[in-house]
């Protein structure tokens, strides 16, 4: 079962009780929103869901829309984002699994 099929993880998200508009901010406000994501137990599920559905707006799993677009362009062959995020030995996947902001743009510009 993919993350898209089972959305029960969303109820455990740190932002589950927040106003949705709080997650759809622009510019510097995104840094504040995404910092909270790095302490969330379902961050990988959230990010995988956003990548699978190609969510265009907001902060999901600690990444901005710009970072997610860069990942989608750089890894067009990925069909199961949760599997890749959870198990890949790729440097970016490993960095995403650690707490803190990954350097997505640096990895995808190589």
pLDDT in tens, 80-104: 999 999 999 999 999 999 988 899 9
Whether 90 maps to a domain, the answer reads yes
Whether 3 maps to a domain, the answer reads no
Residues 32-38: what's their mean pLDDT?
86
Whether 47 maps to a domain, the answer reads yes
Phi, psi (degrees; rounded to nearest 5) at 38: -70, -10
Annotated binding site: 15, 37, 40, 46
Domain limits for position 100 = 8-108
What total number of domains does the chain contain?
1
Annotated binding site for [4Fe-4S] cluster: 15, 37, 40, 46
pLDDT in tens, 44-85: 999 999 999 998 888 999 999 999 999 999 999 999 999 999
Residues 30-42: what's their mean pLDDT?
87
pLDDT of residue 1: 44
Whether 2 maps to a domain, the answer reads no
What stretches of the chain show up as alpha helix (H) in DSSP? 29-37, 43-53, 65-74, 81-87, 91-97, 104-108
pLDDT of residue 6: 62
Whether 46 maps to a domain, the answer reads yes
């Amino acid at each position: 079962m993919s993350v898209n099929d089972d959305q029960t993880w969303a109820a455990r998200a740190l932002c589950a009780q927040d106003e949705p508009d709080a997650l759809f901010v622009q510019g510097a406000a995104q840094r504040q929103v995404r910092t909270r994501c790095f302490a969330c137990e379902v961050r990988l599920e959230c990010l995988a869901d956003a990548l699978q559905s190609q969510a265009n707006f907001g902060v999901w799993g600690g990444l901005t829309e710009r970072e997610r677009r860069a990942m989608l362009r750089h890894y067009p062959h990925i069909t199961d984002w949760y599997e890749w995020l959870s198990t890949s030995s790729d440097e970016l996947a490993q960095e995403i699994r650690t707490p803190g902001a990954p350097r997505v743009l640096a990895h995808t510009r190589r």
